[in-house]
Amino acid sequence: MSFDSKEWRMNNLYRIIDRNSDSIRFELNSVQKDVLHNLHNRNIILKARQLGMSTFAVLYLLDEVIFTKNLSAGIVSYSLEHAQHIFKKIIGHALDSWLPKISSLAEVTQRSAREVTFANGSSLRVDTTLRGGSYPLVLVSEFGKTCARNPQKAEEVITGTLQAVPANGCVIIESTGEGNSGFYVDMVTQSSQRGNESLSNLEYKLFFYNWTMEPSYVLHDKVTYDVTLTDYFDKIEKETGKKITQPQRNWYAIQSKVLGDKIKQEFPSNVSESFLSSSDAYYFAESIAKAYQDNRCLYTSIYDALLPVYVAMDIGLNDLTVMVFFQLAHGEIRIIDYYEDKNKDVPFYAKFLLQDKKYHYHTIFLPHDSVKRDPLDIDNSYERDFRRLFSSTGTKFHVLKKMDKQMQISHARIKLDRCVFNVAKVKIYVDMLSKYRKKWNESTGRYLDEPYHDVSSNYADCHQYMCQGVHHLETIGSQSGALEKHKQAVESRNRRVL
């Protein structure tokens, strides 16, 4: 026995409960061994499902506190249920199944539902937050879920828990991808772009393991799938330089049929796929992804100087104001430009529209609450001010009616299938639409049919107002037969592409 070797201890001292509910000795697999040999002070592990990374990370911390004196370690989980699972099923089982002849090495002096303390003065705590403590060794488990479901808690982890870890301490953040926004997405993206060379102690090292790293993800039965999936496998092989075997292709094809668009979140082939989620949490992400696939996100100008320009805006009193510029042609809703600013008054925006954005405006659509104004200036309203400042032009103004929020979102979803974006000018706008999401209810463990208010909601509200404006124009007959014209435009575009 070689207790001085971390790898030997990990391979010989701990038992786990496997997928078949059997108690077996834990042995490092190839990806776990790779992490063990290459850990940095700050680590992010992005992986596919069922690679055993969560179990490895928990046992890594447990081993550290058992064999290091006076070490405080903490594990942050995304939910209380998950925290209890970690403590009971992984930590608890590992401690309870130690051989009697070596159990003295892990003498427990105190053990509660969330924390265990050892005779060597070290302790390991598992909770949804580590507020009020200082931990040189921290594991954040499934941080992607925390970011997607509870952004406030995620911010607390970033600004509180992780900031308290000393530079010479160790942080391990492990998760699959969930959604396309939040701290975890940003941290992975930054680490991926920067690379793992010459890192300081405070810079995060990225470990990524895709689904092909799991030996059990194979199926030897014959499976038929279309050429699109074959092209996908060939593309991934070219990107990674690694062959995807036929049994692996068969397995993935079956999983793809079961999971649909979520296959890339659960079993990514590269880093970017981890965040290509059509999760139920995101209102417009799937529609935006479809716009890219349908060649409706263009880097060339789609502005037609002969057509009128319409503007829809979400006016923020103490928040962000977003306006979108669009045209209607052949049934398409062409998003040609956008603008955002904050803490500006109506004269500023009017001057901006008239002097900086010299479009020929037909109608400017204002939100239903634009008839109101700051209580300190009750004589005026946004609508009245805009009409006055545009009085010398032929621009019309239309105040939209207040709609039920879910109806408004549903309406916008339908209209998104007709939208064409000039992403050279509106890339941020498009990205923000894809990040618009629902609130997460921790007590029920599900998403609410209610938007989560963050910066993306300002863009989404603006887009919903735009869709209301389109509906108004089509209702009054200025754009009759829009759907049929849109179909003809799509067919024409496809013929041009071919």
For residue 482, is pLDDT > 60? no
Amino acid type, 196: N
The residue that leads in pLDDT, 70 or 493, is: 70
As a whole number of Å, the CA-based R_g of the chain is 27
Please give the pLDDT value at position 470.
94
Nearest-10 crossing angle of helices 53-66, 30-38: 50
Task: Tell me the average pLDDT across 217-235.
Answer: 92
pLDDT tens digits for 101-152? 677 788 899 998 889 999 999 999 998 888 777 899 999 999 988 888 888 8
Confidence category of residue 307, pLDDT binned at 50, 70, 90: very high
pLDDT in tens, 145-197: 888 888 888 888 998 889 889 999 999 999 988 777 788 888 998 999 899 99
Average pLDDT of the segment spanning 278-285: 76
Of 4-13, 188-197, 331-340, 435-444, least confident by mean pLDDT is 435-444
pLDDT at 497: 42
- Of residues 18 and 275, the one with the higher pLDDT is 18
Say whether pLDDT at 481 is over 70. no
**For the chain, how far is it from start to end, CA to CA, in angstroms?**
68
Q: How far apart are CA 248 and CA 229, in angstroms?
A: 12
Residue with the larger pLDDT of the pair 61 and 105: 61
Give the Cα separation of 451 and 445 in Å (integer).
16
pLDDT at 375 over 60: no
Burial 393-422 (b: 16+ CB within 10 A, else e): eebebbbbeebeeeebbebbeebbebbbbb
Q: Alpha carbon of 413 to those of 146, 283, 364, 436, 463: distances in Å?
A: 26, 8, 21, 12, 10
149 CB-near residues (< 8 Å, 6+ apart): 78, 281, 440, 442, 447
pLDDT tens digit sequence for 387-411: 999 999 999 999 999 988 988 999 9
3-state DSSP of the chain? CCCCCHHHHHHHCCEEECCCCCEEECCCCHHHHHHHHHCCCEEEEEECCCCCHHHHHHHHHHHHHHCCCCCEEEEECCCHHHHHHHHHHHHHHHHHCCCHHHHHHHCEEEECCCEEEECCCCEEEEECCCCCCCCCEEEEECHHHHHHHCHHHHHHHHHHHHHHCCCCCEEEEEECCCCCCCHHHHHHHHHHHHCCCCCCCCCCEEEEECHHHCCCCCCCCCCCCCHHHHHHHHHHHHHHCCCCCHHHHHHHHHHHHHHHHHHHHHCCCCCHHHHCCCCCCECCHHHHHHHHHCCCEECCCCCCCCCCEEEEEECCCCCEEEEEEEEEECCEEEEEEEEEEECCCHHHHHHHHHHHCCCCEEEEEECHHHHCCCHHHCCCCHHHHHHHHCCCCCCEEEECCCCCHHHHHHHHHHHHCCEEEEHHHHHHHHHHHHCCEEEEECCCCEEEEEECCCHHHHHHHHHHHHHHHHHHHHHCCCCCCHHHHHHHHHHHHHHHHC
Residue 279 reports pLDDT greater than 50: yes
> Is 60 exceeded by the pLDDT of residue 425?
yes
Is pLDDT above 70 for 93? yes
Tokens 């320009």: give the residue.
309
Distance of CA 374 to the CA centre of its chain: 36
52-69 mean pLDDT: 94
Whether the predicted pLDDT of 246 surpasses 70: yes
Residue 279 or residue 446, greater confidence: 446
Res 312: pLDDT: 96
Let me know: does 451 contact 409? Beta carbons within 8 Å. yes
pLDDT at 334: 96
pLDDT number for residue 483? 54
